[in-house]
Structure 1
């Protein structure tokens, strides 16, 4: 895909326009499409690296990397999404690969933890994650905890 730009920001360096676009996308995907009833914005947002993928200025994909010790002992990837217009193009895999590389640089020799929707288990396994523990319900959706060992 041409004209795709990836940007890393801490919350304090995001423009109000960029943060608004992220929150609209998160509400659209998680609240409207997946009908998750919890408040999406949380205190973890202030302790994250936010990765946006922009195509011609439009938010195409997003995820956040929660600092180690904030949610789990390890850095954690969460709120992974691709907006509807950009699905089925491999962008989810691409943005995850960028996040994994970023974590290897920012937090060397640390594993990565995720709480994944169960149906995405094969997707995350292909990225090197392995299931740890049993499946559990979170906001009515079956999830599994997964861990990716460090590269060192």
Structure 2
């Protein structure tokens, strides 16, 4: 079981921020062998959805109000530690992210840029693909939209 917290950037502790950046780097840069600029200057605009297990950050997303990243509200940097993926925590963190957008930004119309291999995962959450696949940082992605 994970505990989930929602925090604006200025409420993150230094240890939380360090752990979040470490997890993102561990998965998106090292595991996926993708050199890209993870620290993109947008974290300060986001709400941070953080999944804790035994007081350790093992899952994370960041969510944006409409217009702060895409025209629609958005969810990005969806990540679960490799050692914790067999527990379906990705669904927990995404469900909390959708709920955070409903509560904080009064919307459930969401746009994501999803890695193509995760299409079924996002479909199971109610996201639908829109448009063609494209490369983002050398990895196949697709635009997906959620509206409920």
TM-score range, shorter chain: over 0.9
Cα contact 1:136–1:144 (8 A) shared by 2: yes
Runs (4 or more) in structure 1 with deviation over 4 Å come to none
Unaligned runs of 5+ in 1: none
CA distance in structure 2 between the partners assigned to 1:44 and 1:68 by the alignment: 14
Cα contact 1:74–1:110 (8 A) shared by 2: no
CA distance in structure 2 between the partners assigned to 1:22 and 1:67 by the alignment: 20
Kindly provide the CA deviation profile for residues 119-143 of structure 1, in whole angstroms up to 9, marking residues without a partner as x.
1111101111111111001111100
Aligned residue in 2 for 1:68: 66
CA distance in structure 2 between the partners assigned to 1:63 and 1:70 by the alignment: 15
| 1:50 and 2:42 correspond | no
Total equivalences in the alignment = 148
CA distance in structure 1 between the partners assigned to 2:10 and 2:105 by the alignment: 20
Structure that is richer in strand per residue = 2
CA distance in structure 2 between the partners assigned to 1:42 and 1:34 by the alignment: 18
Counterpart among 111, 123, 127 of residue 113 in structure 1: 111
Cα contact 1:44–1:66 (8 A) shared by 2: no
CA distance in structure 2 between the partners assigned to 1:82 and 1:115 by the alignment: 17
RMSD of aligned alpha carbons: 1.1
Q: CA deviation at 1:101?
A: 1.4
| 1:143 and 2:116 correspond | no
> Counterpart of 2:71 in 1: which secondary structure?
coil
Cα contact 2:9–2:44 (8 A) shared by 1: yes
